[in-house]
Amino acid sequence: MEGRRGGGTALLITPLPFQATPARAVAPLDASGSAAWLVLSERGEVFRWDCGTSACELVGSTTLTTTGQSEETWGEHPAALRLHPSPSGRFLAIAVDYGTDGVVLDLFSGREALTLHGGTDEQETVPFSLAFTMHRGAEILIHRTDWNRLDAVDLATGEVMTAREFAESADFERRLPPRSLDYFHGALHLNPSGSRIADDGWIWHPLGAVTSWEIAPWLEGNSFESDDGASRMSLCTREYYWAHAMVWLDDERIAIGGLGDDDSSIVPGVRVIDVRRGERDVRGWLTGAETFAFSGRGRRGGCGGGRWCAGRRRRCGGFGRSRRPRPAAARRPPAPAGRRSVRGRRRRVRTPAIRTGGSLRRLSCGARRGGWREAGRSPRSARRGRGSGRPGR
């Protein structure tokens, strides 16, 4: 037991129960109202452990592993198992982040309730999209069923509450059905009441895009709400930057880590976005309002204290001076003499509707030299050459 000076706060260090070690993943079981945790052992056994009383009970098991998942992942994140307890504590979803598979266990019976598959298109670039919420007294599992599709399932009945069919596309160039997103769903973050969701995904090629929409209309009437519904909005976009820290402060405000518009110029800090103040710009896109932002440590300078000037979209302080982020084209080295740079030139690409009533949101972003810089390779899909409306397909 360690305490701070002046008393009051103490840190209690408790070893994991020997039955569950070595452990592969742990998660707090808040629904129990006690100091209970769920622990997944390397043998695939799931234990409910109370670190206050040291009680440890076997509640389920799984054969799910990371074997066979892609060895090359975005940002060098290893494929790993993650635990997602349901609000009541009855169900536990186990999924492979930066992989394809998952499973839902009923901890009351110890049996497998549902198997999950998130699709095999660029799955190594994002955590497995999965979250629980409550709706009209029922526990709902939201999960990715394809790279650009989410669905919601009532776990008590097995009903898919967001069943929908996409019409065939008449647009040969885009090659995606109408209303279908050209968007890779990522980590899901529910607000405290479970009424709104934030999706930390990305757009080809590659632009991290945090989007959000309301749960109720999605489950009660418009099964396309997650694709192009009236409540869907864009919260922020950053080139080559997603799967980083974010947390809901309350039901209307979300804090998103990282200041800047490109991974090479991101500085430590947080921007706070209010979804209540969403408004449509001149192009008809619905966006959240950035109401406050602050940077982390840095030398004082510029407008003072290492702040982020949200209104002028520039970094101030921490650099000794103020400056605007340079465009990606200005950072690229020239192509060698006699050789044409294909990856290095800027080009317009087809991207999805972040939100709008029927029209598509088009963004323009530069394709950098080197493609997936962190993995040292080009995107797999560019090599595959499959048609889906994205460059290289």
Is the alpha carbon torsion for 88, 157, 225, 242 positive or negative? positive
Number of domains in the chain: 1
pLDDT of residue 51: 87
Residue 386 lies in a domain: no
- Structural contact between residues 215 and 133, judged by C-beta atoms closer than 8 angstroms: yes
pLDDT of residue 174: 53
Q: Determine the number of helices (DSSP H) and then strands (DSSP E) in the chain.
A: 4, 25
pLDDT of residue 75: 81
Residue 78 lies in a domain: yes
pLDDT of residue 8: 67
pLDDT of residue 170: 53
Residue 86 lies in a domain: yes
CB atoms within 10 A of CB 271: 22
Residue 285 lies in a domain: no
pLDDT of residue 339: 36
- Structural contact between residues 233 and 224, judged by C-beta atoms closer than 8 angstroms: no
CB atoms within 10 A of CB 146: 14
Residue 109 lies in a domain: yes
Instruction: Render pLDDT for 204-249 as a digit per residue (tens, 0 to 9).
Output: 878 999 999 999 999 998 999 999 888 999 999 999 999 999 999 9
> What mean pLDDT, rounded, does the chain reach?
76
- Cα dist from 19 to 54, 65, 94, 343, whole Å: 11, 19, 19, 52
Q: Which domain holds residue 31?
A: 21-117
pLDDT of residue 150: 96
- The first and second tokens of residue 250, run together, are 């309350």
pLDDT of residue 33: 63
Residue 37 lies in a domain: yes
Residue 65 lies in a domain: yes
- The first and second tokens of residue 375, run together, are 């993995």
CA–CA separation, 200 vs 244, rounded Å? Answer: 8
Q: In which residue ranges of the chain is pLDDT below 50?
A: 1-5, 172, 299-393
Question: Which distant-in-sequence residues (6+ apart) come within 8 Å of 77 by Cβ?
Answer: 97, 98, 127, 243
- Structural contact between residues 354 and 231, judged by C-beta atoms closer than 8 angstroms: no
Residue 135 lies in a domain: no
pLDDT of residue 14: 87
pLDDT of residue 78: 87
Among the listed residues 133, 97, 109, the one whose alpha carbon sits nearest the alpha carbon of residue 46: 109
pLDDT of residue 283: 61
pLDDT of residue 385: 39
